[in-house]
Structure 1
Amino acid sequence: MTHTERPPRVLIVEDEPKIARLVADYLAGSGFEPHHLDHGDAVIPWLEETRQAGEGPALVLLDLMLPGTDGLTLCREIRQRWPALPVIMLTARVEEVDRLLGLELGADDYICKPFSPREVVARVKAVLRRSQLAGEPDPAGSDLVLDEEGWRALADGHDLGLTAVEFQLLKVMMHAPGRIFSRDQLMDHMYRDHRIVSERTVDSHVKKLRRKIAEAWPEREVIRSVYGVGYKYQPEA
């Protein structure tokens, strides 16, 4: 990082001041710029304002139990509005159902209290490394590039001609390579109005998306099925 570059920003959403200060101190000591919010209702407005100014965070550390809007609701809204923004959930509730629920809502990781601040820093670095893979060239030597402003996907410069739903599906999976998305998670991204659709609808869209990618790359498969679970974007090594 040069002297003109701003360190990566991490938003800490935590209503316990001691925990927030401790995590912020360790993040700052590891080269991050922490920002703390202690009320759930402040999160979405702050994200809107900072992202519009080009100063949004690289990652959100999100407590489950918050005054105002709770962490699970916030995680769902963040994932719907900013699919590429990584979220790590912090919580004192260690029940397995809570852990699964948090991940199903789109959290990239989940840390239970009490935790070591060093562990939090390590998890932040690991999640950021994974999220940054989506923006790097395909390791097989060919590029699949998203033009998010034009809602286009280009394979080696060739426009795949995706529909809006197909583009959204590919975008969600490419921003988290290797991560398995259930059909329910993909439906949430496909249809923001929460309409009721069947799992076969997701399968149909994925099938069409795969066919369009195969027309450009007939010998490669980057969208993989995980039997009984869902789908993932997996660039070939």
Structure 2
Amino acid sequence: MNILMIEDNESVSEMMEMFFLNEGWDATFKYDGKDGLQAFLDQPDKWDMITLDLNLPGLDGMSVARKIRQVSKTVPLIMLTARDSESDQVLGLEIGADDYVTKPFSPLTLIARIKALHRRFEQSEQVTTATQATDDNPFDVETAHVKISEKTREAYLNDQLIEGLTPKEFDLLFTLAKKPKQVFSREQLLELVWDYQYFGDERTVDAHIKKLRQKVEKVGPQVIQTVWGVGYKFDDSEAGQ
């Protein structure tokens, strides 16, 4: 794995370098937001993972994340945030980060998050490059108003493509739509979509649901419903044209 770590604390980078080497990963370290962004822009297809600190000299982490997502919607991105910066964590997820880790963090925790995110990304890539089904129905999920193909990673509402879905947003929609009207708790969605537990921190689900809803609403009525005090469900019964 090729990792780009944009982190202004050199001691943190030196510590993580040892852990990356132990995993057999190649890592490039940048200590300034502008330098980190340039490293990505110079070779956008090189990186299998980016870890990005929010508090950076030169260019702040949020700005770096926005520019990265303008170039690549899919490169796995983990943000490193201060423990008390809840608003930054939520905003980072809305911008397009796949995960965040709060500081101070255990190196083993970051390694585990990287492995889990990389595993999910590889699975998504394998599905994306799979050959199209040859039967008469290429859709894996087909409800009254929504059609979803896991092979092409495309979702349609009333035959209109829901554009710009990130891998996590697609996985959320696919997971919910496979079982219409079943209520999923945030913890269940974390386990099903992120493939590991967030130790009780469920804000990442809410942030991704918010972005997913915004993209759904661009083509039609809302199909992701909130069940207050419990979680979310898919219901397109009122999504007719």
What interval of TM-score do these two structures reach, taking the shorter chain for normalisation?
0.5 to 0.7
Question: Is contact 2:52–2:80 with CA below 8 Å preserved after alignment?
Answer: yes
8 Å Cα contact 1:166/1:206 also seen in 2? no
Structure 1: which 5+ runs fail to align?
Answer: 1-7, 145-152, 188-198, 208-223, 233-237
- What CA distance in whole angstroms lies between the structure 1 residues aligned with 2:73 and 2:122? 13
1:14 pairs with 2:4: no
Deviation at 1:103, TM superposition (A): 1.5
- Percent identity, aligned pairs only, is 27
Normalising by structure 1, we get a TM-score of 0.62
Q: 1:109 aligns with which of 84, 95, 99?
A: 99
Which one of 108, 111, 114 corresponds to residue 121 of structure 1?
111
The aligned counterpart of 1:133 is 123
In the TM superposition, 1:183-222 aligns within 5 A as 185=211, 202-205=216-219
Which among 77, 85, 88 is matched to residue 78 of structure 2?
A: 88
Q: CA deviation at 1:76?
A: 1.8
> Per-residue deviation at 1:78?
1.4
The corresponding residue for 2:29 is: 36
2:161 is matched with which residue?
166
- Aligned-partner Cα distance in 2 for 1:107–1:86: 8
What's the CA shift for 1:93? 4.6
Does the aligned pair in 2 maintain the 1:60–1:86 contact within 8 Å?
Answer: yes
Shift in Å, 1:19: 0.4
C-alpha spacing 1:65/1:202, structure 2 compared with 1 (3 Å)? same
Structure 2 residue aligned with 1:70? 60
Give the partner amino acid of 2:171.
Answer: P
Number of equivalenced pairs: 181
Whole-Å Cα distance in 2 between the matches of residues 133 and 175 of structure 1? 15
Q: Structure 2 unaligned runs (5+)?
A: 140-147, 173-192, 194-204, 235-241
Give me the TM-score of the superposition, normalised by structure 2: 0.61
